[in-house]
Structure 1
Amino acid sequence: KLLVLFWGFYLFFILICFLIFDLLIGVLLIKNNTFLGYPLPPYGPLITETQKQRFEKMGHDSSSYIVFDKFLGWTIGPNRKSNNGLYKSNSYGMRSDREYNRLVSDGIFRIAVFGDSFTEGVDVSNENTWPSILEQKLKKVEVLNFGVRAYGTDQALLRYKRDGQLFHPYLVIIGYMIENIRRNVNVYRPIYEHNTGGIGIKPRFIIEGDSLKLIPIPVKSPEELKSFIKNGTIFEKIEPYDYWYQKYKIAFQPNNWMFKLNSIKIAWLIYEKHARNLKRLYAEVNKEPFLVTVRILETFYNTVKQNGSRALVLILPAKGHLEEFMENHTKFWQPLLNYLEKRRIEYLDVTEALALEQLKSPVVYGHYTDKGNEVVAEVVKNWLLKNIITEKGTWTN
Structure 2
Amino acid sequence: MAQSTSRSREFGVRIAFVLGSILAGLLMLEIAVRFIEPRETMRYFFVQPDSILHHKFIPNAKGHYKTPEFNTEYTINSLGLRDYEFPAEKPAGTFRILMVGDSFTEGDGVEANETFSKVLERHLGPKLSSEKFQVINAGCGGYSPILEYLYLKTSGITAHPDLVILFYDLSDVFDDIDFTRIARLDADGVPMGVSPGPTVKPEGAAKGVFVGIKDFFKEHTRLYNFIRLRIDRYLEGAKHEGKALGDIRKDKYAMLRENYPVADDSELALSYKYILLIRDMLRERGIDFWVCVYPYGMQASPREYVEGRKFWGFKPDTVYSTRPQSFMEGFCGRNGIRSINMCDEFRARAKVVHPLYLNFNGHWTSQGHVVAADVLERELLPYLKERSFGEVRTKP
Paired AA for residue 119 in structure 1: T
Match of 2:82 in 1: 95
8 Å contact from structure 2 (residues 53, 193) kept in 1 = no
Identity over the aligned pairs, expressed in percent? 21
Which amino acid in the other structure matches residue 66 of structure 1? V
What corresponds to 2:73 in structure 1? 86
Amino acid at match of 1:364: Y
Match among 47, 52, 58 for residue 77 of structure 1: 58
SS of residue in 1 equivalent to 2:374: helix
Root-mean-square deviation (CA, aligned residues, Å) is 3.3
Q: Secondary structure in 2 aligned to 1:283?
A: coil
Counterpart in the other structure of 2:247 = 275
**Which residue does the alignment assign to 1:132?**
118
**Structure 1 residue corresponding to 2:276, chosen from 294, 298, 318:** 298
The residue type equivalent to 2:119 in the other structure is I
Alpha-carbon separation, structure 2, partners of 1:274 and 1:321: 17
Give the Cα–Cα distance (whole angstroms) in 1 for the partners of residues 276 and 262 of structure 2.
16
Match of 2:350 in 1: 358
| Pair 1:385 & 2:386 matched | no
Is 2:329–2:340's contact at 8 Å kept on the other side of the alignment?
no
- Residue matched to 2:339: 347
**Runs of 4 or more consecutive aligned structure 1 residues displaced over 6 Å after TM superposition:** 205-209, 268-271
Provide the rounded CA distance (Å) in 2 between the counterparts of 1:165 and 1:281.
Answer: 39
Distance change in 2, residues 1:291/1:207 (3 Å): farther
**CA shift for structure 1 position 167:** 0.7
| C-alpha distance in structure 1 between counterparts of 2:86 and 2:326, whole Å | 37
Matches of 2:288 and 2:91 in 1, distance apart?
A: 18
CA offset digits 1:262-302 (Å, max 9, x no partner): xxxxxx9677102132154873434xx32111111121122
Which residues of structure 2 form unaligned runs of 5+? 1-41, 66-71, 126-131, 205-239, 249-253, 305-317
Gaps of 5+ in 1: 1-60, 189-201, 220-224, 233-267
Matches within 5 A, 1:162-177: 162-177=154-169
Counterpart AA for 2:104: F
CA distance in 1, matches of 2:369, 2:52: 29
Secondary structure at the residue paired with 2:139?
coil
Alpha-carbon shift at residue 317 of structure 1 (Å): 2.2
Deviation, 1:95, is 0.7
Q: Counterparts in 2 of 1:240-319, with a 5 A limit? A: 272-276=244-248, 277-279=254-256, 280=260, 283-286=263-266, 289-319=267-297
Q: Which residue of 2 aligns with 1:111?
A: 97
- Equivalences for residues 40-55 of structure 1 within 5 A: none
Offset at residue 231 of structure 1 (A): 5.6
Aligned-residue offset at 1:304: 1.4
Does the Cα contact within 8 Å between 1:176 and 1:313 map onto a contact in 2?
A: yes
Amino acid at match of 1:133: V
- Aligned equivalents of 1:282 and 1:78: distance in 2? 41
Q: Measured at CA, do residues 102 and 173 of structure 1 come closer, stay the same or move farther in structure 2, by a change above 3 Å?
A: same
d(CA) in 2 for partners of 1:138, 1:304 = 23
Residue 141 of structure 1 corresponds to which residue in structure 2? 133
Give 1:349's aligned amino acid.
N
Q: How far apart in 1 are the matches of 2:390 and 2:345?
A: 25
Could you state the TM-score of these two structures normalised by the residue count of structure 2?
Answer: 0.62
SS in 1 for 2:178: coil
